[in-house]
Chains A and B, each alone.
Chain A
Amino acid sequence: MRLFLLLLTLWALPSLAVVEGYKYQFEDPNELARFNALAADLRCPKCQNQDLADSNAPVASDMRQKVYELMLEGKSNDEIVQYMVDRYGDFVKYTPSFKPETLLLWFGPGLLLLFGIALLVLVRKNQNRSTAPLTAKEQARLQALQEKSKL
């Protein structure tokens, strides 16, 4: 699961600085980057679609502070996200979890692609079958028909 999320963050946009960033000091720049990434992946529960990194809302400020404290306590990314989810629900996670309900979401595009390829192959086979060059037998039949129509 952790590897999976790690893979995801590889595709994610880079960590942006956060609002009130000067409040959150870290000695290790990697920790700062981790903080920024977490803030970007958590959603402000009150705003209309903003992450914790960019939101000015008071609750966002509180949540950022909590993330900071939890990081100083040494909690992992999973634990911090879970902490927020336990209190605010799945809504605050921008990366949807991998549950039975979200299987369709995660595999949907892949399945669509496979379905599309299958459709393509099928259609092409049908098309080429109906427009394949005539066989010798069919040629002869065509010739016979053409001569008949001349009469």
Chain B
Amino acid sequence: MSMMAEYGQLALIMALMLAVLQWLVPMMGLRLKQEWLMAYARPLAVGQALFLLLSILALAWCFVQDDFSVSYVAHNSNTALPVAYKISAIWGAHEGSLLLWMVLFSLWSMAVALFSRSLPIDMIARVLVILGLVATGFLLFLLETSNPFSRTLPSVPAEGADLNPLLQDFGLIVHPPMLYMGYVGLSVAFAFALAALLGGRLDAAWARWSRPWTTAAWVCLTLGIALGSWWAYYELGWGGWWFWDPVENASLMPWLVATALLHSLAVTEKRGLFKSWTVLLAIFAFSLSLLGTFLVRSGVLTSVHAFASDPERGVFILVLLGLCVGGSLLVYAFKAPTVRSVGRYEWVSRESFLLVNNLLLIVAALAVLLGTLYPLIIDFAGLGKISVGPSWFNSMFVPIMVVLALMLGPGVMAYWKADTFKRLGGQTVLVAALVVLVAVAVPFVMDGQFNWQVALGMAVALWIVGATLADLWQKSRKQFGRVLKLNRSYQGMVLAHLGVAISIIGVVMVSHYSVEKTVRMAQGDEAVLGDYRFVLNKLGHIEGPNYISDAAEISIYQGENRVAVLNPEKRRYNASGSIMTEADIAKSLWRDLYVSMGEPLPNNAWGIRLQVKAFMRWVWLGAIFMAVGGFLAILDKRYRAKVARSKEATL
């Protein structure tokens, strides 16, 4: 029997010890004002990351070697499981995904340690102390209640229970890591904010420092959420892409707050304003990440995403949450006055628009929080059990987003400090007129009839596009050649805002112009949906690596042309006996043709679910634009210039 699991556990313990030293030693350094002690923070952070990497590699080894004497491997793997899934099974359940969380957390801390040469030593010490404290909490949690390396000895199962078939998919390989990168990345902004509060110093340099880290985390979170939506869409088999499920909400809330934080940081960096608010947002964003962790792992909420619950774990995370969030909010309450902003801005100014942006994003996040927690509140108050579903969430979220999108237009154009409605109006009135014309025309083009929701949605999205491009034109002094010479930060902003518009168009179109139908089909049967004719060519059986399935071959025709041949399956996985619907999709930019098998019917027929989803890809394409935009912004050259420590200006 291999000792690899023990090595993995040993590595975890080493990581814990280094994490403790990571906050203890620099903290002493700060107390005693000894820089050589503070300097230990960096190597300790690097060491911690290395040991965590060793630990997860050890777990990977156990999976690949089919070591079923390790409980976690026995519960989540199987000898017949393809290798790619054996590795991604590491994060297929609670213990391993928490280890992944910690690995990524330590990598962010290591990155901060390595790329912060130009920061004053006491500041970096404080940041790493805070990160070390959080890491200690989570590592203790991992070792105490969620050890992925526990053994099943003395009895060793001959075969594993297999990875949940829903997770035997590419989506598992990419979605959790990307999402977690976003969640834990927000810890950096959090640590910076607390360090600033504790050090009593928050200046433009601090904002310039926090911004790229926050943007990076935001990019990861954006992609992570988009990947989750995309994965649910093709994997779950019924074509839905957002359910306002508690666990989805748990990822959306930090994203909304992180978006607000990004914009608030822009003001703090540029004008030294909103300091106290930015700090609060940074705390809030990471708190929501932690809250998400709690919701998913404690069993407090029912969701198809939730990990198996265990009250002991729930209590531990709640205490961790209490210490991190409660502690930081306590520090905020006492120390916020030390980071007071001084400065003026008029009612009509970019500051004002960004303030409105923040207000709307935070209200949206709080609304989602309210809707997610409300069933719990009612339950614990003894008032029974209620549900809060998509209709409620949409009725709150959509109007807020409409107003936000409207504000986006003038917001990007407005001058800092002072501007006028007259000037802004002058810049945008033409755009507005054009936008309204096109937006009203769209529903007629799609459907032949008016639809005010589509018109409104399109108007708002096109408004963003129009205003963004108009501003781009202005800023590049009306020459195409100069567009590429504009700074990366601005280019990034343009792309990201266009991404928002693209996503809005996607959501509006897919919500109003998709058609669906469930039909009984036997071999040779045809069904018509929208412009398309679906023909069931044949039914058959497939034997996969670890499953057997009923498969259908369906040809799709548009008029005379055959547009696609799809092969949906209904799989039965050998190890667990679970049944999975594998849909097949004909993808295109303008529509998805989505076919899934429902249930077997008498006389060799099947219930087949057919869907034509208009503009589906636009929803995720927008997210990609947002992510690329954010990435560009990080590459802006001002972040790579060395900032001399002594020259930090205090505004």
A and B touch in the complex (CB under 8 A): yes
Chain A interface residues toward B at CB < 8 A: 8-14, 16-22, 40-41, 43, 47-51, 53-54, 56, 89-97, 101-102, 104-105, 108-109, 112-113, 116-117, 120, 127-128, 130-132
Q: Are B367 and A112 in contact (CB under 8 A)?
A: yes
Number of interface residues of B (CB under 8 A): 55
Given A12-B390, A91-B386, A131:B516 Cβ within 8 A: no
**CA gap between A101 and B388 in the complex, in Å:** 13
Beyond known contacts A18-B518, A116-B362: 12 more, CB 8 A cutoff: A11-B394, A12-B391, A21-B517, A43-B389, A50-B304, A54-B240, A89-B385, A104-B374, A109-B367, A113-B400, A116-B359, A127-B341
Q: Distance (Å) between the CB of B486 and the closest chain A CB?
A: 31
With a cutoff of 8 Å between Cβ atoms, the chain B residues found around residue A9 in the complex are 391
Contact residues of B: prevailing secondary structure: mixed
Given A10-B453, A13-B511, A96-B387, A109:B366 Cβ within 8 A: yes
Other-chain contact of B518, A11, A20, A92 (Cβ < 8 Å): A20
**CA gap between A41 and B304 in the complex, in Å:** 18
Residue contacts A-B, CB under 8 angstroms, 24 given: A11-B395, A12-B390, A13-B390, A17-B516, A18-B518, A19-B238, A21-B609, A22-B607, A41-B391, A48-B302, A48-B303, A89-B384, A93-B389, A95-B391, A96-B386, A96-B388, A102-B378, A112-B363, A112-B366, A117-B359, A127-B341, A128-B344, A130-B342, A131-B343
**CA gap between A62 and B238 in the complex, in Å:** 20
With a cutoff of 8 Å between Cβ atoms, the chain B residues found around residue A90 in the complex are 384-387
Q: Are B518 and A108 in contact (CB under 8 A)?
A: no
**CA gap between A87 and B520 in the complex, in Å:** 31
Given A9-B391, A90-B386, A14:B341 Cβ within 8 A: no
With a cutoff of 8 Å between Cβ atoms, the chain B residues found around residue A89 in the complex are 384-385
Whether B159 sits at the interface, judged by CB under 8 Å, is: no
Whether B519 sits at the interface, judged by CB under 8 Å, is: yes
Other-chain contact of B387, A14, A54, A93, A112 (Cβ < 8 Å): A93
B336-355 contacts to A (CB < 8 Å):
341-344, 355
Other-chain contact of A105, B243, B390, B392 (Cβ < 8 Å): B392
With a cutoff of 8 Å between Cβ atoms, the chain A residues found around residue B520 in the complex are 22
**CA gap between A21 and B608 in the complex, in Å:** 9
Q: Are A120 and B359 in contact (CB under 8 A)?
A: yes
Q: Are A17 and B388 in contact (CB under 8 A)?
A: no
Other-chain contact of B519, A19, A21, A102 (Cβ < 8 Å): A21
B486-522 contacts to A (CB < 8 Å):
511-512, 514, 516-520
With a cutoff of 8 Å between Cβ atoms, the chain B residues found around residue A8 in the complex are 391-392, 395
Which residue on chain B has the smallest CB distance to residue A12? B391
Q: Distance (Å) between the CB of B549 and the closest chain A CB?
A: 17
Which residue on chain A has the smallest CB distance to residue B394? A11
Which residue on chain A has the smallest CB distance to residue B383? A101
Q: Are B387 and A92 in contact (CB under 8 A)?
A: yes
The total number of A-B Cβ pairs within 8 Å is 142
Q: Distance (Å) between the CB of B252 and the closest chain A CB?
A: 15
B397-444 contacts to A (CB < 8 Å):
398, 400
**CA gap between A47 and B453 in the complex, in Å:** 32
**CA gap between A27 and B363 in the complex, in Å:** 44
Other-chain contact of A41, B240, B355, B389, B519 (Cβ < 8 Å): B389
Which residue on chain B has the smallest CB distance to residue A5? B391
**CA gap between A132 and B453 in the complex, in Å:** 45
Q: Distance (Å) between the CB of B568 and the closest chain A CB?
A: 15
With a cutoff of 8 Å between Cβ atoms, the chain A residues found around residue B341 in the complex are 127
Which residue on chain A has the smallest CB distance to residue B395? A11
Which residue on chain B has the smallest CB distance to residue A88? B385
Q: Are B239 and A16 in contact (CB under 8 A)?
A: yes
Q: List the 9 shortest-distance A-B pairs measured between CB atoms, nearest first.
A: A94-B389, A21-B518, A17-B516, A109-B367, A12-B391, A11-B395, A22-B520, A91-B385, A95-B391
Whether B6 sits at the interface, judged by CB under 8 Å, is: no
Q: Distance (Å) between the CB of B353 and the closest chain A CB?
A: 12
With a cutoff of 8 Å between Cβ atoms, the chain A residues found around residue B378 in the complex are 101-102
Q: Distance (Å) between the CB of B348 and the closest chain A CB?
A: 12
Q: Are A49 and B390 in contact (CB under 8 A)?
A: no
Q: Distance (Å) between the CB of B395 and the closest chain A CB?
A: 4
Question: In the complex, which of the residues A13, A14, A89 has the most CB atoms of chain B within 10 Å of its own CB atom?
Answer: A13
With a cutoff of 8 Å between Cβ atoms, the chain A residues found around residue B302 in the complex are 48-49
**CA gap between A20 and B609 in the complex, in Å:** 9
Question: In the complex, which of the residues B371, B387, B400, B516 has the most CB atoms of chain A within 10 Å of its own CB atom?
Answer: B387
With a cutoff of 8 Å between Cβ atoms, the chain B residues found around residue A95 in the complex are 389, 391-392
Whether B539 sits at the interface, judged by CB under 8 Å, is: no
